[in-house]
């Protein structure tokens, strides 16, 4: 038993000592790197900053359809109010022409009246909160023979 313990320590002693020293160096290096790392408070700062809201009134609803679609139609209501939110510095710079309320009619073959939900495209860093009204009625006029 004593021979076993002696071999455990003495056999390949320099290799074992080198391995322990290397392990301690790696541990110290990683420990210091973690201490110097900027804490993840930036994400929480962004979440705790007050967001500013702004409402744009009377924005025209854009109808998106395929390029070959030449049907005439009417959107009721044709204008909506869109409320956006974001960083105050970004919200102050947003212009009404950068907010795009739209209705997607691609894939709609036939209909007389149709209710569609409004999607809103906004600049980067800005999210839309609400659209009033949230959907519009698409009216296809009847064809005269």
pLDDT digits (tens, 9 = 90+) for 33-66: 887 765 554 555 555 568 899 999 999 998 887 6
- Please indicate, yes or no, whether residues 65 and 130 belong to a single structural domain of this protein: yes
- Please indicate, yes or no, whether residues 55 and 15 belong to a single structural domain of this protein: no
Give the three-class secondary structure for 80.
Answer: strand
- Please indicate, yes or no, whether residues 63 and 128 belong to a single structural domain of this protein: yes
- Please indicate, yes or no, whether residues 30 and 81 belong to a single structural domain of this protein: no
| Structural domain of 24 | 2-37
Whether residue 95 lies inside any domain: the answer is yes
Whether residue 145 lies inside any domain: the answer is no
Whether residue 44 lies inside any domain: the answer is no
pLDDT digits (tens, 9 = 90+) for 68-125: 656 677 888 999 999 999 989 899 999 999 999 999 888 776 666 788 899 999 999 8
Distance CA 43, CA 37 (A): 14
Domains in the chain, number: 2
37 DSSP assignment: S
- Please indicate, yes or no, whether residues 99 and 68 belong to a single structural domain of this protein: yes
Whether residue 97 lies inside any domain: the answer is yes
Whether residue 85 contacts residue 91, with contact meaning beta carbons closer than 8 Å, is answered with: yes
Residue 39 has a pLDDT of 55
pLDDT digits (tens, 9 = 90+) for 81-95: 999 999 898 999 999
Distance CA 75, CA 36 (A): 58
Whether residue 101 lies inside any domain: the answer is yes
């Amino acid at each position: 038993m004593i021979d076993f313990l002696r071999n455990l320590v003495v056999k390949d002693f320099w290799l074992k000592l080198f391995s322990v020293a290397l392990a301690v160096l790696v541990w110290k290096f990683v420990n210091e790197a973690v201490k110097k790392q900027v804490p993840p408070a930036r994400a929480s700062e962004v979440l705790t900053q007050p967001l500013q809201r702004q409402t744009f009134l009377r924005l025209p609803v854009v109808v998106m359809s395929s390029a070959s679609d030449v049907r005439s139609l009417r959107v009721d209501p044709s204008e909506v109010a869109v409320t956006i939110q974001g960083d105050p510095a970004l919200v102050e710079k947003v212009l009404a022409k950068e907010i795009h309320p739209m209705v997607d009619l691609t894939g709609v073959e036939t209909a007389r009246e149709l209710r569609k939900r409004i999607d809103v495209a906004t600049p980067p860093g800005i999210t839309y909160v609400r659209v009033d009204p949230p959907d519009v009625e698409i009216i296809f006029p009847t064809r005269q023979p």
